[in-house]
Structure 1
Amino acid sequence: MPITKDRFDRISERDAHLDSDADRLLDFLIRHEDKAYTKSEIAEETSVAKENVGPVLDRLRERGSVEHKSEYWRVSDHELAARAGTRLTAATARQYDDGDEFDVEKWAEYAVGDVEWPGETE
């Protein structure tokens, strides 16, 4: 089964087995974005081993994917916004891309003029 680029980027040789746990936890929290859960509740709902839930949630928090208060965990607004932005970008691309290559010349007609970026030298 194919995986997303985001999931691929999260895989490391050392933690490959944890990434499936991370995906399961994050998918669960996203499906229930309006609630916060304890580690025990998350373990019970996702069938992830209790001893793995804490370390996985800590890694997800370090990435900004989940938030933690007291004993409760929830998906972060940052994660939800990033996913919504990705979905919008993909939907927009599908709407305007009929499988053709990107037309740079047409885009240039509407693009903003030259911009100097910080640290850019000529």
Structure 2
Amino acid sequence: MPISAERFEDIPEDEDGRSPGTNAHEILSFLEANPEQAFTRSEIASETSVTEGSVGPTLVRLRERGRVDHRGRYWRISDHVRSIEAASNHAGQVAASHEDESMAYDEWHEYAVDPRDERE
């Protein structure tokens, strides 16, 4: 059944497949758990609940979004995703190291806010 253009605009985007239960979520979770390895489509299918016929199209969409890298027959989590995770881990470590210290709001804000967010 078709929907109106207005209703279409109200549908939230899926945030790069991070919605639990989606093929993208299953594949990304598996690849993120194995960041130092690359896998073929059939290996990804055998390690996830995603059917082999759905793995390829899902990987192509994830590559277009910059979430995975592809070379030859192999796929892996992208370096971009890995660097974001490393930055998040570092931020968590910095926050934990300051946990016992009192911190003024301005000082905390300096650690917590991405300068790109200030432009919006």
The amino acid of 1:69's aligned partner reads: R
The amino acid of 1:56's aligned partner reads: T
In structure 1, what is the equivalent of residue 105 of structure 2?
103
**Alignment check: 8 A CA contact 2:16 2:62 kept:** no
2:39 is aligned with 1:34: no
> Alignment partner for residue 15 of structure 2, among 1, 10, 33?
10
Q: How does 1:1-122 map to 2 (within 5 A)?
A: 10=15, 20-97=22-99, 102-104=104-106, 107=107
- The 1-side partners of 2:16 and 2:83 are apart by 22
Query: For 1:91, what is the secondary structure of its paired residue?
Result: helix
In structure 2, what is the equivalent of residue 115 of structure 1?
none
Q: Deviations over 1:57-111 (max 9, x none)?
A: 112212212111112111111111111111111232233246x78522xx3xxx8
Structure 2 vs 1, CA of residues 97 and 46 (structure 1 numbering), >3 Å: closer, same or farther? same
Q: State TM-score, norm by structure 2.
A: 0.63
- The 2-side partners of 1:83 and 1:24 are apart by 18
- The 2-side partners of 1:76 and 1:65 are apart by 5
**Alignment check: 8 A CA contact 2:67 2:81 kept:** yes
Larger deviation: 30-39 or 40-49?
30-39
- The 1-side partners of 2:75 and 2:16 are apart by 22
Q: Percent identity?
A: 38
- The 2-side partners of 1:31 and 1:90 are apart by 19
Structure 2 vs 1, CA of residues 11 and 101 (structure 1 numbering), >3 Å: closer, same or farther? farther
1:34, CA displacement in angstroms?
2.3
- The 2-side partners of 1:102 and 1:53 are apart by 48
* RMSD of aligned residue pairs (Cα, Å): 3.2
- The 2-side partners of 1:38 and 1:89 are apart by 33
- The 1-side partners of 2:93 and 2:60 are apart by 32
The amino acid of 1:57's aligned partner reads: L
- Unpaired runs of 5+ residues, structure 2, are 1-12, 111-118
